[in-house]
Amino acid sequence: MEFNWGLMFSSYAAVFTPGILFMICVGTTAGIVIGALPGLTATMGVALLVPLTFGRPPLESLSMLMGIYCGAMYGGAISAILIRTPGTPAAAATVMEGYPMAKRGEAGRAMAMALFASFFGGVVGAVIMTFASPFISSIALEFGPVEYFALAIFGLSVIISISGRSLIKGMMAGFFGLLISAIGFDPISGFPRFTFGMVEMMEGPPFIPTLIGLFAVSEVFNEVQKSGVTQQVKAKLDQYLPSWQDIKYCFRELCRSSIIGTVIGAIPGAGGDIAAFISYGEAKRASKNPERYGHGEIEGLAASECANNSCSGGAMIPLLSLGVPGDAVTAVLLGAFVIQGLQPGPMLYKEHIDIVYQIFASMMLAQFAMQFIGMAGIQLFARVIMVDRAILTPAIFVLSVVGAFAMRSNIFDVYTTLAFGILGYVMTRYDYPLSPILLALILGPMAEANLRRAMVISGGDPSILVSRPIAIGLMVLAVISLILSIRGHQKVEARMAEMEAQFEKAVAD
């Protein structure tokens, strides 16, 4: 496919009209708010607003949906940083660095970096989508059950990087999470496992309520217990953009994460949550200061936010060029296209190449809209943590319950949230990290279902697992990554011990 510069300029001109720009801004604003609300994901946001586009012209509707998609991916970071609740699963890795930063009074710095990283990743994703779609999309189809299994294993190797201080406890949390992910219908035979006879458990514990419970509700219990002891956070909110130093410091990770994010986005079925975790793990592994991770390291925050936004550009690639959605959001978008009478895929390139270019253009403009609207919103959102804790903490609980309920309108999900809240509180108290559970819940089903699927295809012959080059490559990467992270962990341990010794010496003196 030749790149058509003339068409690209005319598409930008078509999008650059007040009406379309307005729709992009409306979509982006709605997306940021939806993303920031716990329980409402980018997928949910797009799904809820698709009906509003019935009967509107294609460009208008699609540009609004692009805005929602991009806005929601960033919006998730807002609540992740401010109230330790990943607004969307893709922001789960952001919590690990963003919340400690906010607790240190650096909410403004964290928010500015999250926004800029999202913008940076979004732009890189959109550029790659514009220029390299046909090339990248050829990788997407190479992914069959064996490759997905290998990808899941590679993703799971990040567990060590997110394990915190005790490797053993991190692994326990990880395997516990994987076991939880096995609850519900067996992906191949359909046998309901560990359901205790409950219909609600047949699809496993619902992901969003689990996420909200583990992070937000457990922190509510923690806050309540400490109320009066902890000081009100005095946040400096004078930042709209990250400082030049911060950008320079994170630049390498921004570049790397945006590439990782785009590629993972382009693989059908792997979305922003996986991209963010893998980028975070890679950033920590490559960092000169891995011991700062988990205590508010801005580089880790930038990596995860950058990856989840570049993922949206990546996920559009197989959707547009193959008609195969790259993640859950684009699966919903596929429906929205069809309602517009457009069938994404090679035919779209042949028959409606103008629409394809207009989507490129509106995706790019949505990034700019996100940056500007986000800047306007930073002050407003960041004020949240200045709110009196006695009001904020109970309000977070109510919002968590609402978010858990909204997804499926099922009271069972509210109890799930509460149960995982208690679990999260107990685990944090005794030094078990929570993030490995989350990673396991995301990747566990992917690993199992695809391993079993591969076995069905091969008739039970395990040699199929080493029969394909991409899969072998990913497995080798997983092993390397495991070895390097264990060595990294030992390095962190040594430095921490050194620091503690120095501290004790200083106290003794």
Partner 1 sequence: MKRRTMLAGAVALAAGIIVTPALAAYPDKPVTVICPWTAGGGTDVLLRALAKAAEKHLGQTINVVNQTGGAGAIGHNAIRAARPDGYTLGMITFELNSLPPQGLVPFTWKDFDPLMRINSDPAALTVRQDAPYNTVRGFMDYAKAHPGEITIGNSAPGSVWHIAAGLAAEKTGVQVKHVPFDGAQPAVTALVGGHIKAVAVSVAEVKGQVQAGNLKLLGVMSADRDKIFPDVPTFKEQGVDVQFYTWRGLGLPKGVPAPIKTKLADAFKKAYDSPEFQEFAAKASLNLAYQNSADFTKFLDQNYKDVEAVMKSLGLAKK
Partner 2 sequence: MKIADIVGGLVGILIGLYAIWEGTKMPTDVVMKIGPSFFPNFLAGFLILFSVVLVINAVRGKSKGTVEPMRLADKGVQRGLITLAASLVFCVILEPVGFIPSSIAFLAFMMVVMGKRKPIPILIAPPLITVSVWLVFEKILNLSMPAGLLADML
Q: Which residues bind partner 1 (CB under 8 A)?
A: 43-44, 46-48, 50-51, 54-55, 140-145, 185-190, 192, 199-200, 202-203, 206, 268-269, 322-325, 331-332, 334-335, 338-341, 343-347, 408-410, 449, 453, 456-457, 459
Shortest spacing between CB 469 and partner 1, in angstroms = 14
Q: What is the DSSP letter of 192?
A: E
Return the number of the residue (338 or 387) whose C-beta is nearest partner 1.
338
Q: How far is the CB of 256 from partner 2 (least distance, A)?
A: 31
46 binds, among partner 1, partner 2, none (CB under 5 to 8 A by kind): partner 1
Distance, CA of 502 to CA of 190 (rounded, Å): 57
Question: Do residues 96 and 294 make contact, with C-beta atoms less than 8 angstroms apart?
Answer: yes
| Token pair listed for 218 | 């457990």
166 binds, among partner 1, partner 2, none (CB under 5 to 8 A by kind): partner 2
In the list partner 2, partner 1, none, the entry touching 405 (Cβ below 5 to 8 angstroms by class) is partner 2
Cβ proximity to partner 2, 45 vs 314, nearer residue: 45
Binding partner at 448 among partner 2, partner 1, none, C-beta below 5 to 8 Å by kind = partner 2
β-bridge partners, 185: 192
Which residues sit at the interface with partner 2, rule CB under 8 A?
33-34, 37, 40, 48, 165-166, 168-169, 171-172, 175-176, 178-179, 182, 186, 188-189, 191, 193-194, 217, 220-221, 224-229, 388-391, 393-395, 397-399, 401-402, 405-406, 409, 411, 414-415, 418, 421-422, 429-432, 448, 451-452, 455-456, 459-460
CB 161 to partner 1: min, Å: 27
CB of 47 to partner 1, least distance (A): 3
Give the 3-state secondary structure of 44-88.
HHHHHHHHHHCCCCHHHHHHHHHHHHHHHHHHHHHHHHHHCCCCC
Residue 3 to residue 173: CA distance in whole angstroms: 48
The token pair that represents 150 in the structure block:
């290998």
**Closer by beta carbon to partner 1, 312 or else 340:** 340
Q: Residue 96 touches which of partner 1, partner 2, none (CB < 5 to 8 A by kind)? A: none
The neighbouring-strand residues paired with 184 are: 193
Determine which helix (DSSP H) or strand (DSSP E) holds 219, and give its type and residue range.
helix 218-226
Q: Give the Cα separation of 327 and 309 in Å (integer).
A: 12
Q: Running DSSP on this structure, what letter comes out for residue 199?
A: G
| Position 431, amino acid | D
When the beta carbons of 365 and 471 are compared against partner 1, the nearer one is 471
Alpha-carbon distance of 186 to 453, in angstroms, equals: 11
Token pair 């959605």 is found at 325
Nearer of residues 228 and 460 to partner 1, judged by Cβ: 460
The minimum distance between CB 408 and partner 1, in angstroms, equals 5
Distance CA 151, CA 157 (A): 10
Half-sphere exposure of 24 (CA within 13 A, CB side): 27
Which residue, 44 or 306, is less far from partner 1 as judged by CB?
A: 44
Q: In the bound complex, what is the minimum distance in angstroms from residue 179's beta carbon to partner 2?
A: 5
From the CB of 406, what's the least distance to partner 1, in Å? 10
Q: Which two tokens stand for residue 412?
A: 């069972």
φ and ψ at residue 431, rounded to 5 degrees:
70, 25
Tell me how far, at minimum, the Cβ of 336 lies from partner 1, in Å: 8
For partner 2, the closer CB: 354 or 493: 493
Nearer to partner 1, 178 or 303 (CB): 178
Which residues 6+ apart lie within 8 Å of 106 measured at CB? 235, 236, 296
* Cβ distance to partner 1 smaller for residue 419 or 449: 449
CB 142 within 8 A of CB 470: yes
Task: Give the shortest CB-265-to-partner 2 separation in angstroms.
Answer: 26
